[in-house]
Amino acid sequence: MSKAHFNTITLIGIGLIGSSLARVIRREGLAERIVISTRSEATLARARELGLGDAYTIDGAEAVNDADLVIISVPVGSSGAVARQIAASLKPGAIVTDVGSTKSSVIAQMQPELPDNVHFIPGHPLAGTEYSGPDAGFAELFTNRWCILTPLEGTDPDALARLRAFWEACGSRLDTMDPVHHDRVLAIVSHLPHLIAYNIVGTASDLEEVTNSEVIKYSASGFRDFTRLAASDPTMWRDVCLHNKDAILEMLARFSEDLASLQRSVRWGDGEALFDLFTRTRAVRRGIIDAGQEIDAPDFGRQKINPS
């Protein structure tokens, strides 16, 4: 039996990430049994209708009592509550991991609650779409995307190897990182972009002279690109902001400084400064395409999918 295989995997939370995991676990045969638990009766019922698991329960404690791998996919503000709920029922030797976008806060919330005889290995698959809920998941979500593990001191190497193998079997590329560094990296590559996107969509909606219907109608000239991130799950993103505050505030400060400088270039007609910035940013996209993290089709390939 491969390292990536577990007898029972329990998924706590069955939104976009949880339900994508359920689908890829099934497709790849990574568990004998998938147990699904979530707080909402309606969501649990939907997961059952979709046939995502083998057993379903609202009760987190009951859900984990036979689990060899527990994956917690809930908004990061709920991590502590979930840990408290399941702690006493965990099987000795079980691996407990999460998928949260902030790591220091999740560790601070969960580590004190969990017993010493389980392997708690925090994780974060860098994958998602702007859709949420059990219907939004798909088995290919993790394909070729990075998954960052932030193991704590003294983590059992064998448990770590099993979790790595699991994510690799889901299609991910694996990295390990210090949790504090993770939070700073994510603040710039993910949290700041989402905040900026939410902000510009808010600014555009609030104009008096340009109507919302004009914003919508003419959005293909740039604006619409931001609306995708700004359509992401509000609960998840509220929690990210509250739980990675320091790193986000630092990145926001840097962004605002740079924006003030750019604004000055516009005001004073400094074409050279504008041209320099606009040239150097081009290279970054090329790097992302070359790294296989983006397609090179123009316009995200949208025109190919639906030109009319």
Residues 14-43 that bind its own copies (CB under 8 A): none
Query: How far is it, in rounded angstroms, from Cα 56 to Cα 113?
Result: 24
- Which of 55, 118, 47 is CA-nearest to residue 86? 118
Asked whether position 267 contacts its own copies by CB under 8 A, the answer is: yes
* Cβ 16 to its own copies shortest distance, Å: 9
Contact range with its own copies by CB under 8 A, out of 46-54, 90-98, 159-167, 214-222? 214-222
* Cβ 67 to its own copies shortest distance, Å: 28
Asked whether position 191 contacts its own copies by CB under 8 A, the answer is: yes
- Between 68 and 233, whose beta carbon lies closer to its own copies? 233
Asked whether position 232 contacts its own copies by CB under 8 A, the answer is: yes
* Cβ 52 to its own copies shortest distance, Å: 18
Answer left, alpha or beta for residue 296, where phi above 0 means left and psi between -120 and 50 means alpha: alpha
* Cβ 20 to its own copies shortest distance, Å: 11
Asked whether position 146 contacts its own copies by CB under 8 A, the answer is: yes
- Between 32 and 276, whose beta carbon lies closer to its own copies? 276
- Between 58 and 289, whose beta carbon lies closer to its own copies? 289
User: Do the beta carbons of residue 8 and residue 66 sit within 8 Å?
Assistant: yes
Other CB atoms closer than 10 Å to residue 217's CB: what's the count? 9
Asked whether position 256 contacts its own copies by CB under 8 A, the answer is: yes
Asked whether position 249 contacts its own copies by CB under 8 A, the answer is: yes
Size of the site for its own copies (CB under 8 A): 117
Contact range with its own copies by CB under 8 A, out of 64-72, 92-100, 156-164, 272-280? 272-280
Question: Rounded to 5 degrees, what angle do the CA atoms 228, 277, 229 make?
Answer: 10
Query: How far is it, in rounded angstroms, from Cα 206 to Cα 268?
Result: 27
Contact range with its own copies by CB under 8 A, out of 23-31, 55-63, 161-169, 179-187? 179-187
User: Do the beta carbons of residue 76 and residue 17 sit within 8 Å?
Assistant: no
* Cβ 116 to its own copies shortest distance, Å: 32
- The DSSP element (H or E) to which 175 belongs, if any, is strand 173-176
**Footprint of its own copies on 85-144 (CB under 8 A):** 101, 126-131, 136, 138, 140-141, 143-144
Task: Decide: helix, strand or coil at residue 71.
Answer: strand
Contact range with its own copies by CB under 8 A, out of 48-56, 107-115, 152-160, 295-303? 295-303
User: Do the beta carbons of residue 19 and residue 128 sit within 8 Å?
Assistant: no
Long-range Cβ contacts of 231-237 (<8 Å, 24+ apart): 231/130, 232/128, 232/130, 232/132, 232/194, 233/15, 233/16, 233/75, 233/132, 235/75, 236/75, 236/76, 236/101, 236/132, 237/194, 237/198
Asked whether position 207 contacts its own copies by CB under 8 A, the answer is: yes
- Between 34 and 195, whose beta carbon lies closer to its own copies? 195
* Cβ 110 to its own copies shortest distance, Å: 20
Asked whether position 76 contacts its own copies by CB under 8 A, the answer is: no
Asked whether position 157 contacts its own copies by CB under 8 A, the answer is: no
Decide: residue 66, CB within 10 A, 0-12 exposed, 13-18 middle, 19+ buried.
middle
Please identify which residue in 50, 61, 81, 200 interacts with its own copies, judged by CB under 8 A: 200
